[in-house]
Amino acid sequence: MSLKIINIQDDQGRDCAIRDIRAFQKHLQLFHRTGVSVHDEDGHYFTVDDAFRQKIDKLVEEADRSHG
């Protein structure tokens, strides 16, 4: 099942379209699991920390509720 595109703001305040929020979450779990790091998504940079990971987890939960 495909989810709708979700826009999140990068570190510069620009909107970035995330086409598959679950795949984005999985990438964060694999490569940005702990600590603080920077993720590049098509030229958009995100500081990945606990608060950002929680934000993405919440977006996935909301997407699941709206599609389930």
Handedness of CA 30, 34, 35, 36 (dihedral sign): positive
pTM score, two decimals? 0.90
Q: How many domains does the chain have?
A: 1
- What is the tens place of the pLDDT at every residue in 1-51? 456 899 999 999 999 999 999 999 999 999 999 999 999 999 999 999 999
pLDDT in the model for residue 4? 80
Residue 1 lies in a domain: no
pLDDT in the model for residue 66? 84
Residue 42 lies in a domain: yes
Non-local CB neighbours of 55 within 8 Å, separated by 6+ positions: 8
- In this predicted structure, the answer to whether residue 68 has a pLDDT above a threshold of 90 is no
What's the domain range around 63?
6-67
